[in-house]
């Protein structure tokens, strides 16, 4: 069993790749929900109602301040103790939910900073054209903020993809889960984990390419 | 047609406006001059409700507004009648020149097609027909400011407020913007221009208001202002 079995490495790739849709679906859904939730949370944090902004600052502080794995365990193993109905949520949905909430905290930090980075004159010009505050945000400030936010949000997405690796701990058969099973049954730990590492790496490279392409496209608008 | 009564504003301890009264006729062209920090820009920003006044009443087109308790609806009503041209242009950076001018029309509910026609016409008026699809970053300061003027005109406001429209420009670009404003001066629109361009103020104004330390220290026709005995005004004009 010693030494490096190159043949096994090649054999285990297709096995792990079969689970790739799980990882990709969880990543994309969590990012999408995270963006919506993170944007909403940002506005709640900017609310003039002290109760709201304090609560959601606490929300961001907690979800950035505790490990993703702890959050996943609290939700999946802990909360059903006091809310029994949660025990019916399967690992797939639980993962998306927890990853979305976790991502929303990071995304909110990014969006908050980029809204502040958009020149105040842009908001004033929008208002002075008779826009409501909502219209000014939607039509002028947010589109510019998202352009500035694109690169940091790309980093959040990459962290999120890699964060999905811990969902195997609640029994999900994502690429990490499958590679762990393969490793355990073949005792070829190095090959199996190397294979899954390479797959994560390639995923990250693809996403990086995509983000760079988007940011190049958007830079033509002259904002970034 | 627009009347300001007792406009007051402080930032913390600093009293920026000490109770401004000003009444302006329809179509009148007013220049507001004065040293930096005398409250000129703040006055414009209070009129446009970009800053909340501490006190003051404004009558605009027969409707009276309590400026320190404006509701969002009132602010929008005021802004649609009084457009602002900013010192730093503040064009929407992610939109083309054409889209910048269309924006106010579209949020006001106009169909896109119609807005394109009007915006194209206005940009032609300010000499930028060949720049319709340029982004602000691709335009010179003078061109950006002319787009800013077209954008303000698009709403067909009663009043256009110019907040030092040429202060951020390179000297050689000042002329084209002043020329554009002069063209406007022949229309029916009321213009309130905060400016440091004395020659320009003298040429286009029906009336000049001199502000000093948060108050109107002198006002009158260009003749009256340039022959005024007020020592502060004389010093400011370098006479």
CB of B65 closer than 8 Å to CB of B114: no
Query: Do A124 and B107 lie within an 8 Å CB cutoff?
Result: no
Q: Is the ipTM of this complex over 0.85?
A: yes
Smallest CA-to-CA distance from B89 within B128, B39, B121 is with B128
Residue A222 is predicted with a pLDDT of 55
**Residues across chain A:** 224
How much is the pTM? 0.81
Domain, as residue range, for A45: 6-219
Give the closest-approach CA distance of A109 to chain B in angstroms. Answer: 23
- CA nearest B73 in A: which residue? A132
Helices (H), strands (E): how many in chain B?
9, 10
Query: Do B94 and A144 lie within an 8 Å CB cutoff?
Result: yes
- Assigned domain for A200 exists: yes
- Assigned domain for A11 exists: yes
Closest Cβ–Cβ partner in B84, B94, B107 for A131? B107
- Assigned domain for A224 exists: no
Give the closest-approach CA distance of B138 to chain A in angstroms. Answer: 8
Query: Do A128 and B48 lie within an 8 Å CB cutoff?
Result: yes
Residue A221 is predicted with a pLDDT of 58
Q: Which residues of B touch A (CB under 8 A)?
A: 48, 50, 72, 75-76, 79-80, 83-84, 86, 88, 90-94, 103-104, 107-108, 135-138, 151, 155
Closest Cβ–Cβ partner in A121, A132, A147 for B86? A121
- Assigned domain for A44 exists: yes
Q: How many CB pairs under 8 A join A and B?
A: 68
User: First CA to last CA across chain A, in angstroms?
Assistant: 54
* C-alpha to C-alpha distance for A44 and A33, rounded to whole angstroms: 16
Binned at pLDDT 50, 70 and 90, residue A224 comes out as very low
DSSP letters of A110-124? HHHHHHHHS-HHHHH
Using a CB-CB cut-off of 8 Å, the residues of chain B touching A119 are: 90
| CATH code for the domain defined by B2-237 | 3.40.50.300
CA-CA-CA-CA torsion sign (B16, A134, A99, A18): negative
Question: What are the tens digits of pLDDT across the range A168-195?
Answer: 999 999 999 999 999 899 888 999 999 9
* C-alpha to C-alpha distance for B32 and B200, rounded to whole angstroms: 12
Phi, psi of B215 (to 5 degrees): -140, 160
- Assigned domain for A1 exists: no
Query: Do A222 and B137 lie within an 8 Å CB cutoff?
Result: yes
CB of A28 closer than 8 Å to CB of A62: no
- The mean pLDDT value for A37-56 works out to 94
Smallest CA-to-CA distance from A19 within A168, A173, A169, A167 is with A173
Smallest CA-to-CA distance from B67 within B22, B1, B152, B9 is with B9
What CATH number should be reported for the domain holding residue A162?
1.10.3720.10
* C-alpha to C-alpha distance for A145 and A143, rounded to whole angstroms: 6
Number of domains chain A is built from:
1
Q: What is the pLDDT along chain B (239 residues), one digit of tens a residue?
A: 899 999 999 999 999 999 999 999 999 999 999 998 899 999 999 999 999 999 999 999 889 999 999 999 999 999 999 999 999 999 999 999 999 999 999 999 999 999 999 999 999 999 999 999 999 999 999 999 999 999 999 999 999 999 999 988 888 888 888 888 888 877 788 999 999 888 889 988 999 999 999 999 999 999 999 988 888 898 888 87
Query: Do B94 and A221 lie within an 8 Å CB cutoff?
Result: yes
Domain parsing of chain B, residue ranges: 2-237
- The mean pLDDT value for A132-161 works out to 93
Q: Which residues of A touch B (CB under 8 A)?
A: 119, 121-122, 124-133, 135, 139-140, 143-144, 147, 220-223
Question: What are the tens digits of pLDDT across the range A80-114?
Answer: 999 999 888 999 999 999 999 999 999 999 999 99
Closest Cβ–Cβ partner in A125, A127, A130 for B92? A125
Query: Do A125 and B108 lie within an 8 Å CB cutoff?
Result: no
- The mean pLDDT value for A111-127 works out to 93
Smallest CA-to-CA distance from A111 within A140, A143, A133 is with A143
* C-alpha to C-alpha distance for B89 and B103, rounded to whole angstroms: 15
Smallest CA-to-CA distance from A106 within A148, A60, A37 is with A60
Give the closest-approach CA distance of B239 to chain A in angstroms. Answer: 36
* C-alpha to C-alpha distance for B215 and B35, rounded to whole angstroms: 12
Smallest CA-to-CA distance from B132 within B140, B141, B123 is with B123
Crossing angle (nearest 10°) for helices A6-17 and A189-219: 50
Q: How many degrees, rounded to 5, is the angle at CA B104 between CA A222 and CA B195?
A: 80
């Amino acid at each position: 069993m010693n030494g490096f079995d190159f043949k096994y490495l090649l054999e285990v790739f297709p096995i792990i790749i079969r689970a790739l849709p799980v990882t990709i679906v969880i990543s994309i859904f969590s990012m999408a929900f995270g963006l919506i939730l993170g944007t909403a949370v940002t506005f709640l944090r900017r609310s003039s109602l002290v109760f709201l902004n304090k609560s959601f600052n606490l929300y961001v502080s907690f979800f950035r301040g505790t490990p993703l794995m702890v959050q996943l365990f609290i939700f999946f193993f802990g909360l059903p103790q006091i809310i029994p109905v949660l025990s019916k949520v399967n690992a797939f949905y639980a993962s998306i939910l927890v990853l979305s909430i976790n991502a929303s905290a990071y995304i909110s930090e990014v969006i908050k900073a980029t809204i502040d980075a958009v020149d105040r004159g842009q908001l004033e010009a929008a208002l002075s054209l008779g826009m409501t505050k909502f219209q000014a945000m939607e039509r002028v400030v947010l589109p510019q903020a998202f352009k500035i936010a694109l690169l940091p949000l790309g980093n959040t997405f990459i962290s999120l993809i890699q964060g999905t690796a811990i969902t195997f701990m609640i029994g999900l058969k994502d690429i990490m889960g499958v590679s762990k099973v393969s490793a355990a049954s073949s005792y070829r730990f190095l090959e199996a984990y190397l294979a899954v590492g390479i797959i994560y790496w390639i995923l990250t490279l693809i996403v990086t390419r995509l983000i760079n392409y988007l940011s190049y496209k958007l830079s033509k608008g002259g904002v970034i | 047609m627009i009347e300001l009564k007792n406009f007051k504003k402080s930032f913390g301890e600093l009293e920026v406006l000490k109770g401004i009264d000003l009444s302006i006729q329809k179509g009148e062209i007013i220049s507001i001059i004065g040293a930096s920090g005398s409250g000129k820009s703040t006055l414009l920003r209070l009129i446009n409700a970009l800053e909340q006044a501490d006190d003051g009443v404004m009558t605009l087109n027969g409707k009276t507004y309590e400026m320190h308790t404006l509701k969002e609806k009132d602010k929008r009503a005021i802004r649609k009648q009084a457009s602002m041209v900013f010192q730093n242009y503040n064009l929407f950076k992610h939109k083309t020149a054409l889209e910048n001018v269309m924006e106010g029309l579209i949020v006001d509910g106009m169909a896109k097609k119609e807005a394109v026609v009007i915006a194209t016409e206005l940009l032609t008026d300010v000499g930028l027909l060949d720049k319709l699809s340029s982004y602000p970053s691709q335009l010179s300061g003078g061109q950006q400011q002319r787009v800013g003027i077209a954008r303000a005109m698009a709403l067909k406001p009663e009043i256009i407020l110019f907040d030092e429209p040429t202060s951020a420009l390179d000297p050689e670009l000042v002329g084209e913007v002043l020329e554009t404003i002069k063209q406007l001066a022949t229309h029916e629109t009321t213009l309130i221009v905060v400016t440091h361009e004395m020659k320009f103020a003298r040429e286009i104004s029906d009336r000049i208001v001199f502000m000093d330390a948060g108050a109107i220290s002198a006002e009158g026709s260009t003749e009256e202002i340039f022959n005024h005995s007020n020592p502060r005004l004389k010093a400011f004009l370098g006479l």
